[in-house]
């Protein structure tokens, strides 16, 4: 499963490994197949592996300091070694070994006679996102009709908010141009013409869509869109003068290009404490 957050994507993989009684070759084949799944996962994702790995990792983390802590339960088994090597090769950490809990809160499996308890299910996370994992422990009170306890991992992720289409902000038009009487008159005339051309009848939704399109297209033709958020300390009159100057510069450059005349030098105004700078075109 792949989930999106505001900063990254998280890939969650559910696993179920073979028991210690299985042949070594079969267990190595399992981890080879799991490696193939990992290779298909985008490298930038926060990877989370969870499930029944049938691996006892123990509390001795010598030679596995980058993979696990010293809060595991019992002693490491053969499956535990394979599991730890897999996590080391893929830069993962084993969450159940990182947090200090009572042994009763670490046990994930209990034999049917109630005398054998093991920690064989795990939640792993990419070492890069280690601090996103806040806690891992079992919930013995959960009634799941199984000899396994429910394993809970608390992970802090900022899930990206999915904005629905109707919640998306519409286009912003340059309403300051309505101060120009000619622009205002043109907009009103075009809007009246488009509104008169909308056929009567139909559903309310169809009528609403027709009026919305007429209004949007009219504003687009007469006002234009605001391309960027303007700084408040620059007035609209200054922006209009800047746009007029840019338009004249573009027209002058186009005229010079058509006539073959060289471009005039660009002159910058005098800076405080400096002379006027002239840059050749």
Q: Tens digit of pLDDT for each residue in 222-252?
A: 887 776 555 566 777 887 888 888 888 888 8
What pLDDT is attached to residue 5?
58
Q: Based on the domain organization, do 135 and 210 belong to the same domain? A: no
Residue that terminates a domain, selected from 229, 253, 273:
229
More confidently predicted of 5 and 77: 77
Residue that terminates a domain, selected from 155, 177, 209:
155
Q: Based on the domain organization, do 64 and 182 belong to the same domain? A: no
Q: Based on the domain organization, do 249 and 200 belong to the same domain? A: no
Q: Based on the domain organization, do 270 and 223 belong to the same domain? A: no
* Torsion, CA 135, CA 136, CA 142, CA 145, rounded to 10: 160
Mean pLDDT of the chain: 81
Find the domain containing 74 and state its range.
2-155
What pLDDT is attached to residue 134?
92
Distance separating alpha carbons of residues 212 and 225, to the nearest angstrom: 16
Residue 101 included in any domain: yes
Q: How far is CA 266 from CA 63, 171, 213, in A?
A: 67, 36, 44
Confidence class for position 276, pLDDT limits 50, 70, 90: very low
Residue 128 included in any domain: yes
Residue 164 included in any domain: no
Q: Based on the domain organization, do 7 and 30 belong to the same domain? A: yes
Q: Based on the domain organization, do 135 and 27 belong to the same domain? A: yes
Contact 42, 8 (CB under 8 A): no
Q: How far is CA 210 from CA 164, 179, 194, in A?
A: 21, 27, 9
Q: How many domains does the chain fold into?
A: 3
Q: Based on the domain organization, do 175 and 219 belong to the same domain? A: yes
What pLDDT is attached to residue 277?
39
To 5 degrees, how large is the angle CA 273–CA 274–CA 278?
A: 160
- Whether 108 has a pLDDT exceeding 70, the answer reads yes
Residue 33 included in any domain: yes
Residue 162 included in any domain: no
Residue that terminates a domain, selected from 128, 155, 182:
155
Mean pLDDT, residues 99-117: 89
Distance separating alpha carbons of residues 187 and 194, to the nearest angstrom: 11
CATH number of the domain enclosing 18: 3.60.10.10
Q: Based on the domain organization, do 109 and 200 belong to the same domain? A: no
What pLDDT is attached to residue 80?
92
Q: Based on the domain organization, do 18 and 145 belong to the same domain? A: yes
Residue 236 included in any domain: yes
Q: Based on the domain organization, do 210 and 115 belong to the same domain? A: no
What pLDDT is attached to residue 144?
77
- Whether 164 has a pLDDT exceeding 70, the answer reads no
Residue 163 included in any domain: no
Q: Based on the domain organization, do 45 and 81 belong to the same domain? A: yes
Query: Largest alpha-carbon pair distance within the chain?
Result: 98
More confidently predicted of 28 and 278: 28
- Whether 94 has a pLDDT exceeding 90, the answer reads yes
Q: Based on the domain organization, do 74 and 146 belong to the same domain? A: yes
């Amino acid at each position: 499963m792949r989930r999106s957050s505001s900063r990254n994507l998280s890939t969650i993989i559910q696993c179920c490994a073979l028991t210690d009684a299985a042949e070594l070759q079969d267990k190595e084949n399992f981890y080879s197949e799991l490696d193939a799944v990992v290779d298909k996962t985008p490298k930038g994702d926060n990877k989370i592996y969870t499930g029944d790995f049938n691996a006892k990792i123990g509390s001795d983390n010598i030679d596995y300091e980058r993979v696990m802590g010293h809060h595991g339960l019992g002693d490491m088994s053969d499956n535990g070694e394979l599991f730890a090597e897999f996590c080391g090769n893929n830069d993962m950490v084993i969450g159940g070994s990182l947090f200090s809990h009572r042994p009763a809160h670490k046990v994930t499996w209990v034999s049917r006679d109630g005398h054998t308890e093991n920690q064989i299910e795990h939640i792993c996370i990419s070492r890069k996102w280690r601090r996103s994992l806040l806690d891992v422990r079992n919930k013995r009170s959960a009634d799941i009709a199984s000899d396994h306890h429910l394993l809970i991992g608390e992970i802090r992720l900022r899930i990206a908010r999915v904005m629905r289409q109707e919640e998306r902000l519409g286009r912003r038009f340059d309403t300051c141009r309505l101060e120009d009487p000619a622009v205002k008159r043109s907009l009103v005339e075009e809007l009246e013409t488009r509104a008169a051309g909308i056929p009567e009848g139909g559903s309310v939704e169809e009528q609403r869509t027709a009026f919305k399109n007429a209004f949007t297209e009219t504003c687009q033709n007469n006002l234009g869109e605001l391309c960027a958020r303007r700084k408040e300390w620059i007035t609209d009159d200054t922006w209009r003068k800047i746009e007029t100057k840019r338009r004249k510069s573009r027209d002058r450059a186009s005229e010079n290009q058509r006539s073959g005349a060289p471009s005039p030098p660009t002159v910058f105004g005098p800076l405080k404490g400096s002379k006027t700078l002239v840059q050749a075109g």
